[in-house]
Amino acid sequence: MPVGTKGTVKGLTPGDLREVGAGIVLGNTYHLYLRPGSDLIKEAGGLHAFMGWHGPILTDSGGYQVFSLAQTRRISEEGVEFASVYDGSRHVFTPELTTRVQEDLGSDVAVVLDECPPADAGREYHEESLRRTARWARRCKEAHGRRDQALFGIVQGGLYPGLREESLGLTVEIGFDGYAVGGLSVGESREEMLETLALTAPMLPAEKPRYFMGIGDPVGILKVIALGVDMFDSVLPTRLARHGAALTQDGRINLKNARYRTDFGQLDPECACEACAGYSRAYLAHLVRENELLGHRLVTLHNVHFSVDLCLKARREIEAGRYEEWSRAWIARYESTDRAGTDKLE
């Protein structure tokens, strides 16, 4: 899912997203609640009408901000009190409020309010937190009234298998339309993340969507798909583009590197997006170095297209029964160049 935090995938129009094949985008409840305000968006006819995107939308609950804004928030049984990143004003996000806000936004998929502790929080804290998250999840479900909106629960528990199993049991017992695996990609190693996911994902209901919150690098995407994940989101493709980095079949390249000043080849010869079909690496590198808006837009378009296309290819390989062999070969090619480190972003 391309991330449209504030009601826009940075630099791209809804038409661009349709063109690259995006099937769903993500919006951020915390930011949209503060600006321009969920009441205004509701008055506009909902987030679809407001942003001009008429495909599916998933909104998170603000739970990630519990993690990312840890220095300015206070957690209680009632909910989470935040300081606005815009003006410092205080706001209390309760399960009931975040559910109502997401209903006002009119997203197709809403997510329960949860706490996302850092990986090193310790077992005792994770245990207390996952049980509070389960109590919040039940309150979200009780407050949820839109029949045309799915509601996803979230499994927490850190890197502790026993706590993951407990959180999963509590969440599945409440009953949701889909289940998210939260509390990963928050400071643990890639190996720890995959080991925890490998234990958690198979225990989730097979007939419900499985959502991994917060992964967007190509190798990570293919590895979590192999473990049974259906949905994932990340700002990585758009964030990399704003720093001049492009994802390709042969690893990530940094267009600010001097080697691309005179490289008149395609950004990715195997990609059919507008940036690859119409412009050279040298031109894109020039735009990026000069901080031209067109450069950011074209590289963003490419990165999102690349990520969506990778998922479409993965789907085809799964259907053909070739996923394991294909993904292993794809990752080997990508990493053989990427590991060289010549184009790593500083």
Residues designated as active site: 60, 233
- For 115, the token pair is 């706490």
The DSSP output letter for 269 is: T
Contacts of 280 (CB under 8 A, 6+ apart): 263, 264, 265, 266
Place of tokens 């808006």: 293
Amino acid type, 256: K
- Answer whether 237's CB lies under 8 Å from 304's CB: yes
Whose CA is closest to 32, among 104, 95, 96?
Answer: 104
Identify the three-state secondary structure at position 27. Answer: strand
Identify the three-state secondary structure at position 66. Answer: helix
Distance CA 154, CA 181 (A): 6
- For 315, the token pair is 């789907």
The order of strands in the sheet holding 178-181 is 25-27, 57-59, 109-111, 150-155, 178-181, 210-212, 231-232
Distance CA 185, CA 333 (A): 24
Amino acid type, 300: T
Q: Can you give the C-alpha Rg of the chain in angstroms?
A: 20
- Answer whether 104's CB lies under 8 Å from 42's CB: yes
